[in-house]
Amino acid sequence: MLRVRVLVVGAGGVGSAVAAVAARRDFVTAMTVTDLDPERAERAVGRLDERFSAAPLDASDVAAVNQAAKELGADAMVNACDPRFNEPIFEAAFAAGCTYLDMAMTLSKPHPERPHELTGVTLGEAQFAQAAQWQEKGQLALVGMGVEPGMSDVFARYARDHLFSEIDEIGVRDGANLEIEGYAFAPTFSIWTTIEECLNPPLIYEKSRGFYTTEPFSEPETFNFPEGIGPLECVNVEHEEVLLIPRVIDCNRVTFKYGLGDEFIEVLRTLHLLGLDSTKKVRVGKVDVAPRDVVAATLPDPATLGDRMHGKTCAGTWVKGRGPDGSEREVYLYHVADNDYCMTEYGTQAVVLQTALNPVIALELLSSETWEGAGVLGPEAFPADPFLELLADYGMPHGIVEAPEREA
């Protein structure tokens, strides 16, 4: 196995959890965790071994990120920032000759005239536009390598390779029964990213029609999640899997639906109604500020909520088609993270840890050359079996449910 040196850009909840997970594996020679706030970067590595260090870094500064990678001698760069910073980090990784990994792709822009019917600029479009350059250079950008997208795409690949002879529909379904003591409203993940994906027009893929969009929170269905989470109403949300999966896996339809809950949806709708989801700065007194940044600043940091959280979160991929024997089949491949377990084992809340596991597993597979590739690729482009084997080795195995209960 090759040893790797890794630059992590962003020391928020996910970036800190990436370091905590990687600290238990010996394939990492050195990992530097960086952040605009140097104290946050120091906290991320404070209890880890001598392989881990911290440094200040402005993720929006291409030259600075490139220089940090070169000073470390980084083999890989993990983008643990929100998607606003994808383009400069992506550019810096290419310039530095690093393998690049992120957990969310470059942002979309709705169609200017028909946003709930036609696509505008799609998620990841800016990255895929550079695929030929990465391919020509023999360099890999592994995009969407979180939990969703990421592990969900791995599940789709496993289903194609082992469970189905023909796939009709692939639907990523996410739900949780997490409760947070002391807060009426406290998102378990970045509110900035949550607003972006939930209020943008959801994307759907159909082979006969291509990609198209719908109204936010459309096509509600009840999905029965495993391991005690139970039935939740799920609605369409914009997500990268809808774009990534059809690039590799032949199927008739791909969707992403999230079990948000009525209360959460109403809060998001209210934010939109008041214009508080906007990223355009407005004048307040003597300063210019984006309303969405104000919302984020007033809410608790999701990384700090673990001690108040209880319950489980489930990420998974529902697949419908025909099994190897030609008979009709439906399965749900899933991963459940229990918050109490995550806090006990890693000191990190469940949603954050479930996201951070995946880029570390991918790095280990790349370091052993079990996964190999060049260009701009998603997780579904690689064999699923070794990933799922390592997931179990990390102590958090996946599960499979035959014929999951769902009601449109």
User: Model pTM?
Assistant: 0.95
From the number of C-beta atoms within 10 Å of its C-beta (0-12, 13-18, 19+), residue 324 rates as: exposed
Q: What is the mean pLDDT of residues 44-72?
A: 97
Q: What is the mean pLDDT of residues 74-90?
A: 96
Instruction: Say whether domain 151-354+397-407 belongs to CATH 3.30.70.20.
Output: no
Tell me whether domains 4-142 and 151-354+397-407 share a fold: no
Res. 75 pLDDT band, cuts 50 70 90: very high
Strand partners, 179: 310
In this structure, of 178-187, 255-264, 384-393, the range with the lowest mean pLDDT score is: 178-187
User: The domain at 4-142 falls in which architecture?
Assistant: 3-Layer(aba) Sandwich (3.40)
- Per-residue model confidence (pLDDT) at position 168: 98
Q: What is the mean pLDDT of residues 261-272?
A: 90
Q: CA triplet 30, 23, 395: central angle to 5 degrees?
A: 145
In this structure, of 141-145, 305-309, 349-353, the range with the lowest mean pLDDT score is: 305-309
- Per-residue model confidence (pLDDT) at position 3: 77
**C-alpha distances out from residue 194 to 200, 221, 296, 312, Å:** 10, 20, 10, 19
Q: What is the mean pLDDT of residues 284-301?
A: 90
- Per-residue model confidence (pLDDT) at position 20: 97
Torsion angle, alpha carbons of 296, 301, 306, 311, to 10: 0
- Per-residue model confidence (pLDDT) at position 85: 96
Q: CA triplet 229, 13, 271: central angle to 5 degrees?
A: 70
pLDDT in tens, 148-198: 999 999 999 999 999 999 999 999 999 999 999 988 788 887 888 888 889
Is 34 in contact with 55 (CB distance < 8 Å)?
yes
- Per-residue model confidence (pLDDT) at position 403: 85
**The two three-digit tokens of residue 196, written as one number:** 């972006």
Res. 7 pLDDT band, cuts 50 70 90: very high
- Indicate if the pLDDT at residue 1 is higher than 70: no
Instruction: Kindly report the average pLDDT of the chain as a whole number.
Output: 95
User: What gap in Å lies between CA 151 and CA 147, rounded to an integer?
Assistant: 5
DSSP 6-32: EEEE--SHHHHHHHHHHTT-TTEEEEE
- Per-residue model confidence (pLDDT) at position 193: 85
Q: What is the mean pLDDT of residues 280-291?
A: 91
CB within 8 A of 16, min separation 6: which ones?
33, 43, 44, 303, 348
In this structure, of 42-46, 182-186, 326-330, the range with the lowest mean pLDDT score is: 182-186
- Indicate if the pLDDT at residue 210 is higher than 70: yes
Which DSSP helix (H) or strand (E) runs through 376? Answer: strand 375-377
- Per-residue model confidence (pLDDT) at position 373: 97
- Indicate if the pLDDT at residue 122 is higher than 60: yes
- Per-residue model confidence (pLDDT) at position 188: 83
Residue type, 178: L
**The two three-digit tokens of residue 22, written as one number:** 């990687």
Q: What are the domain boundaries of the chain?
A: 4-142, 151-354+397-407
User: What gap in Å lies between CA 281 and CA 298, rounded to an integer?
Assistant: 17
- Indicate if the pLDDT at residue 216 is higher than 60: yes
**The two three-digit tokens of residue 323, written as one number:** 């099994």
Q: What is the mean pLDDT of residues 339-352?
A: 95
Q: What is the mean pLDDT of residues 254-268?
A: 93
